[in-house]
Amino acid sequence: MAKQQQPISPLKNFFAGGFGGVCLVFAGHPLDTIKVRLQTQHKPKPGESLLYAGTIDCLKKTLAKEGVKGLYKGMAAPIIGVTPMFAVCFFGFGLGKKLQQRTPDDILTYPQLFAAGMLSGVFTTAIMAPGERIKCLLQIQATTGEVKYAGPMDCVKQLYRQSGIRGIYKGTALTLMRDVPASGMYFMSYEWLKNLLTPAGKSHNELSIPSVLFAGGMAGICNWAVAIPPDVLKSRFQTAPEGKYPNGFRDVLRELIREEGVASLYKGFNAVMLRAFPANAACFLGFELAMKFLNWLAPDL
């Protein structure tokens, strides 16, 4: 592993992370729409079949009914939300790394990288929780056929009118449970794979594009392996009618396991994993390219 490394700059991480976020949304949004539709479809009544048999079936039906545009439904909210969120996420990771370094040349251990990743998860939840709540509500109204919200801003206004700031931040604890350990996993596995793929004596900056894509894609998969169960609970909880789960996520968990068994915690697994690889590969590639550009533009920042 090459010792000479660029000093960590949380600010550069912020801008490069934002660009990575835009790349991630473009690559991953179609499968995100499918993931939410699969996770929130209701149990069929006796004699009826499920609305969507699985990932491919949901893709076919969405394309047939709504065209390619249907797959990019609700993308404005994630672009507006994801760009600052990934900026803050990579900033949090950069800051977490910097705080643990005694000197700029310190090489961090994997537990330290995990801790830095967890810090980025705390940072992002503040932005993420309301964005996720709005995204889920808009994505399922196309399926239920009842158009309650005209768009993201209308959704915020109605939620605020109904139950104040708490209505907008519903599901924050679940978002934290999902993002804090998952972010630690995300960044640690990315750094580990980068180390693994870097030839001896070479620096990380010389990694080939396929290597960066592979490390980023696999990091996405590690991230979601940890995040899916709390994500399923969160999707259910955030889209449930007011007052359905008085004790929060414990009620959601009990109901899910009682009605559909433990396997239901991994609902939408195929859609998530199919999306995780290309979306996060695109994200980290965008991040690394932007980072190279920023290091060239302002080497001393």
Residue pLDDT, tens place only, 164-190: 888 888 878 888 888 999 999 999 999
Do 220 and 277 form a contact (C-beta atoms < 8 A)? Answer: yes
* 179-207: average pLDDT: 92
Residue 50's SS3 state is: coil
- CA 167 to chain CA centroid, nearest Å: 21
Q: What angle do CA 109, 22, 189 make, to 5 degrees?
A: 20
206 pLDDT more than 80 = yes
290 pLDDT higher than 80: yes
Residues 119, 186 contacting (CB under 8 angstroms): no
What is the reported pTM? 0.78
Mean pLDDT for the stretch of residues 49-76: 87
Q: Contact, 46 vs 131, CB < 8 A?
A: no
- Confidence bin at 260 (pLDDT 50/70/90): confident
pLDDT digits (tens, 9 = 90+) for 96-152: 999 999 998 889 999 999 999 999 999 888 777 888 788 888 888 877 777 888 888
User: From the CB of residue 52, how many other CB atoms can be counted at a distance below 10 Å?
Assistant: 18
Nearest to 16 by CA among 301, 285, 209: 285
The mean predicted confidence, pLDDT, of the chain is 88
Q: Over 90: is that where the pLDDT of 13 sits?
A: yes
Burial degree of 297 (CB within 10 A; 0-12, 13-18, 19+): exposed
* pLDDT at position 1: 37
Q: In whole angstroms, what is the distance from residue 180 CA to residue 174 CA?
A: 10
Q: Which residue has the higher pLDDT, 5 or 286?
A: 286
CB 139 within 8 A of CB 37: yes
pLDDT, average across residues 263-281 = 87
For the chain, the distance separating the N- and C-terminal CA atoms, rounded to the nearest angstrom, is: 24
The closest of 180, 91, 62, 186 to 129, measured between CA atoms, is 180
198: confidence class by pLDDT, cuts 50, 70, 90: very high
pLDDT at 38: 83
Contact, 157 vs 219, CB < 8 A?
A: no
Looking at residue 180, its amino acid is V
| Helix or strand run (H / E) with residue 155 | helix 152-168
**What pLDDT shows up at residue 124?**
87
